[in-house]
Amino acid sequence: MPISEQTRDGHLLLQLEGGLTIFQAAELKDELLQALAHAEHRIELNLAAVEEIDSAGVQLLLALKHEAASQQKTVNYSHHSPPVLAAIDLLNLAATLGDPLLIPNAR
Amino acid sequence: MDMDMARDALVQEARELLVAMENALLEIETDGASSEAINAIFRAAHTIKGSAGLFAFDLIVSFTHIVESVLDRVRNGKVQIDDAMLSLLLNCGDYIGALVDAIQNRTENEEPDAARRVVLEKQLGAYLEPPAEAPAAAALTATAKEEGPQQIEGSGGVSSDNWHLSLRFSPDVLRNGLDPLSFLHYLSSMGRIVYLHTLTDNLPPLSQLDAEASYLGFEIDFDSDADRAKIESVFDFVREDSQIRILPPHSKIDEYISLIALMPDPGRLGDILVRGGALTEVELEQALQQQQGQEIGQKPLGAMLIEQQLVPEPVVSAALSRQKQNEEKKSHEQKFIKVEVSKLDQLIDLVGELVIAGAGANLIANRKKDAQFEEATQAISVLVEHIRDAALTLRMVPIGEVFQRFPRVVRDISRELGKEIELIVTGAETELDKSMVEKLADPLMHIVRNSMDHGIEGTEDRVLAGKSATGMLRLNAYHESGSIVIEVSDDGRGLNREKILAKAIERGLVTPDHNLSEKDIFRLIFEAGFSTAEQVTNLSGRGVGMDVVKKNIESLRGEVEILSQAGQGTTTRIRLPLTLAIIDGFQVMVNDEVFVIPLDLVIECVDLAGHDARHNIVKLRGEPLPFVRLRELFELPPIQHNRESLVVVQFGQQRAGLVVDRLLGEFQAVIKPLGSLFSGIKSISGSTILGDGRVALILDVPHLVQQTAQQQHSLTQSAVAGLLTNNKTTER
Amino acid sequence: MGKTILIVDDSFSMRQTVGIALKGAGYDVVEASDGKDALSKLDGRKYNLIISDVNMPNMDGISFVKAAKLLPNYKFTPIIMLTTEGDETKKQEGKAAGVRAWVLKPFQPPILLDAVSKLVMP
């Protein structure tokens, strides 16, 4: 479940914890949609505490990114946990879901 | 090490299943076929096959497979189960048993009896249909498999050395527990993913996203030495409702054209293919041109659709018409935890130590005369007693475990002897110590064979004697005052006193001038080397006499006796203590020595003074009771004392008195086996450790009772030397 | 993070052998002796995979799977069913319930381990 905290300049910081899998996907989707509506410009999603991720989780992150773009907002993912990094690496999605501050892991 | 354990488990389970199978077969023989019994037989073969398959024990897998196939046809009502089949299946069960033995003996790769197997398989084959559908299905898969190599040789292949995989998973895969991510991960274990592009074209806006549906597609360039079948097999579970296209290295450009055509935006896929190196720029252009040409052409779409079936689903769903199997009824199978016997023994050992330590605490509490302390130790004692009982029941198993092999034995032997014999089993739920169960099997088998062989008459003789044509054999068990009693009874001709006596005299076991009671005469059967059979049949005449039976039973601290009525039948009665580990004991004292008597066997205690006691016979309420002074028995020095107590004990139907100095009361005795030094002393069955650490001897009451009774016998009939007693003492 | 697999089979030796193979591959294993027993073990614990036999007393594998699919914590848990050639009707039922991964008995442990690693990420 995301734990949110507002920071200055309308920059919303969210933290995801536990599983990011099909078991949580439906609920998470609603919460992320809400968070996006709240955010003025930018959301930063901290993935440090994600213990597990599957395809459902990956496509949720992708859909959030697309959705944000269509609303002229930005979503950044940061502090990827090892399982998240492994999935991003396998699916070659570093460019989309990687941390913009890090140089994507060149394969 | 672990796998050895697993192998043992397999052997054990297979044996249990074979017993269940045999019981079900015998049930069908007597009560007719029921779906429950048939299912039980099927499940036995099925489970053994499955478990053996894990180890690749092919001999047993292939054999049980045939048995299972026949049973499957029985289950589906295609074949009727008849007498011949029952016999065949029983024989097959035996052969599976032999194969299981081979597994246990680590010789699973050797056929135990190849000739027998051939015969059985031939008989089984008669119940099977000739395999008609199989070749067609095989051909189907074969053509599917050949596709790969052909394409590699085809002309006009692209230059890429990599496989190309195009994956579109069905929306339902995630809901069905199949995660594309893990399939891709598995794929990567088979080679190197050179390039992977995740297609997100189908991903809807977040608000419309069904978070549990799968939207992603993948284009993968894959470097691997694996063959096509191997790579295809990665997607076995998702193949059915997903589009999986696999292009081998150097595939024809046409293959890529049709691939590109499937994309809503062909240019983009082309781009992906070039980026991953599947196609060169030139090849892509060529492909796009050809594709445009095809679109004007006649039947590109249809051709593409056919090619989409590139990965055929080889599963042939054959038996849809098959009768729907009844929901399985609740079976009698119970839930058990299997525990290694050694662990159980360890627990019992510990409980034994606890009992001793508890007794020590009790002793101290008594000395301290501290009421609270005494109360506390008392409470602990009660709990320890409960724990002891509970721990001991863990070792208790129903005697049915031994009895259950007899229906088959009786069936087979009665056929062999040409006698009609019905087996009645009662008291199968009666429990006894596990260690005894194992040692009981052989003696019981021998007694049963004896009864069938010599006891029960042939049909003609029975009818002539006015009996029912079918002989009756009964196995019975029950608890009686701290013992378990097991009886094997038959309604046969009974023992012939004169014959036994004559034989015993002939063998020099007794002299003709002995005036023996009926009981004594019957007991002669248990003497070494005695055999009443006039003609030795192949069943009982195996050189193992009833003397071995007796020895086995005595080694369990039990006794065996024979009751017989001429013309009416014989009962062999075995009496065993319930457990071998811990007993409730009754402590008595002679001089400074403490002795323990199993409490179950104690009837009463009386003051010896005031009773008429002479020649080791005391009159108790008018009845003579033989007794023995423990002081004399154990040759302890005489002391000055004022009173003696008489402990009356009973074993079986006989009673005896033991004279002691003092009665100390009840005590839980953990039986420790005697060292070999003491094994010659017949009046002692074991030792135990008292609360204060001293050792006390446990009296062998059955032996003492017998001995005193025989002494009495020899006293009252002083003309007859106590031959049996002498015989006994010289025997060992 | 340890991955846990629930193995449901009425055969003790099957559970034990498969259990040893799975443990050897680094998985944690929970055993159940039939569908009913298995259902009682769907008590909130997380399983990364369920391996279930079809033919079992008390509650067969199909009924068990159908029941598991109704539980929020287990409705998407990957399932491998162990089946036999003769189980075609049951297999259709299982497919309707959403089972896609089948392993044909008799099999050797590597076959099952292979299937497991297709469904469970390390």
- Distances, alpha carbon B395 to alpha carbons A96, B220, B386, B398, in Å: 65, 61, 15, 10
Cβ of A63 within 8 Å of Cβ of B181? The answer is no
pLDDT at B544: 54
With 0-12 / 13-18 / 19 or more C-beta atoms within 10 angstroms meaning exposed / middle / buried, residue B532 is middle
Q: What is the pLDDT of residue B209?
A: 92
Interface test with C, best of B47, B241, B242 (most C CBs within 10 A): B47
* pLDDT at B546 > cutoff 50: yes
Window 36-95 of B: residues touching C by CB (8 A cutoff) are: 43, 46-47, 49-56, 61, 68, 72
Tens of pLDDT, residue by residue over C74-95, are 999 999 999 887 677 888 888 8
Dump pLDDT digits (tens) for B368-420.
Answer: 888 888 888 888 888 887 887 788 778 788 888 888 888 888 888 888 888 88
Q: How far apart are CA B676 and CA B496, in angstroms?
A: 40
Do residue A56 and residue B195 have CB atoms under 8 angstroms apart?
no
Residues B731/B721, Cβ–Cβ less than 8 Å: no
Q: Sheet holding C49-53: strands in order across?
A: C28-32, C4-8, C49-53, C79-83, C101-104
Q: Which helix (H) or strand (E) holds B408?
A: helix B406-417
Q: Which domain holds residue C44?
A: 4-119
Set of chain A residues whose Cβ sits within 8 Å of the Cβ of B188: 90
Angle at CA of residue C73, ends C72 and C74, nearest 5°: 95
pLDDT band for position B293 (cuts 50, 70, 90): low
Instruction: Provide the 3-class DSSP secondary structure of residue B89.
Output: helix
User: What SS3 string covers B292-315?
Assistant: HHHHHCCCHHHHHHHHHCCCCCCC
Alpha-carbon gap: C97 to the closest alpha carbon of chain A (Å) = 18
Q: How far apart are CA B121 and CA B650, in angstroms?
A: 58
pLDDT band at B316, cuts 50/70/90?
A: very low
- Smallest CA–CA separation between A18 and chain B, in Å? 17
Yes or no, beta carbons of A52 and C76 under 8 Å apart? no
Strands A42-53 and A11-20, how do they pair?
Answer: parallel
For chain B, the first-to-last Cα distance in angstroms comes to: 43
Average pLDDT of the segment spanning B584-598: 88
| Tens digits of residue pLDDT in B670-688 | 776 665 555 566 788 777 8
**pLDDT-based confidence at residue B268 (cuts at 50, 70, 90):** low
Give chain B positions within 8 Å (CB) of C24. Answer: 2
- B326 at the C interface (CB within 8 A)? no
Report pLDDT for B350: 85
CATH of domain A3-97: 3.30.750.24
For residue B368, the model assigns a pLDDT of 85
Query: How high is the mean pLDDT of chain C?
Result: 90
Domain boundaries, chain B: 2-125, 149-308, 341-395, 409-577, 582-731
Chains in touch with B (≥3 Cβ pairs < 8 A): A, C
CATH superfamily of B149-308: ACT domain (3.30.70.260)
Contact A34, A26 (CB under 8 A): no
User: Which pLDDT band, with edges at 50, 70 and 90, does A2 fall under?
Assistant: low
pLDDT over 90 percentage in chain B:
16
Topology of domain B409-577, CATH: Heat Shock Protein 90 (3.30.565)
Instruction: Tell me the domain boundaries of chain A.
Output: 3-97
pLDDT of B697 reads 86
pLDDT of residue B116: 92
pLDDT, average across residues C58-86: 90
Show which of residues 223-262 on chain B sit within 8 Å of chain C, judged by CB atoms: 234, 236-238, 240
**Which chain A residues have a beta carbon less than 8 Å from that of C4?**
none
Work out the minimum CA distance from B178 to partner chain A, whole angstroms.
10
Peptide linkage before B626 cis (omega within 30 of 0): no
Task: Return the higher-pLDDT residue of B256 and A48.
Answer: A48
Three-state secondary structure call for residue C20: helix
CATH fold for the domain made of B582-731: SH3 type barrels. (2.30.30)
B2-125: CATH architecture: Up-down Bundle (1.20)
ipTM: 0.92
pLDDT value, residue B459:
86
* CB-CB contact of B117 with B95 (8 Å): yes
pLDDT band at B324 (very low <50, low <70, confident <90, very high): very low
- Choose the closest CB to A92 out of B182, B198, B212: B198
B308-to-B157, B237, B246 alpha-carbon distances in Å: 19, 18, 11
Strands (E), B401-521: 421-426, 431-433, 471-480, 483-490
Which residues in chain B are contacts of A64 at CB distance < 8 A? Answer: 206
Mean local confidence (pLDDT), B71-95: 88
- Which of C39, C51, C82, C100 is most worth mutating to test chain B (most B CB atoms within 10 A of its CB)? C100
Position B93 scores a pLDDT of: 93
Give the domain CATH number at C76: 3.40.50.2300
Selection from B319-323, C48-52, C89-93 with the highest mean pLDDT: C48-52
Number of domains into which chain C is organized: 1
Mean pLDDT value across residues B285-299 = 56
Q: Which tokens is B32 given?
A: 């007719």
| Averaged pLDDT, B649-668 | 84
DSSP bridge partners of B46: none
Q: What is the pLDDT of residue A23?
A: 94
Q: Are strands B645-651 and B623-629 parallel, antiparallel or unpaired?
A: unpaired
Q: Read out DSSP for B209-251?
A: --TTS---EEEEEEE----HHHHHHHTTTTSTTSEEEEE-TT-
- How many cross-chain Cβ pairs, A to C, lie less than 8 Å apart? 8
C-alpha B400/C-alpha B424 separation (Å) is 12
pLDDT over 70 at B636, yes or no? yes
Task: Show Cβ contacts of residue B275 under 8 Å, excluding neighbours closer than 6 positions.
Answer: B195, B197
Higher pLDDT, A18 or B535: A18
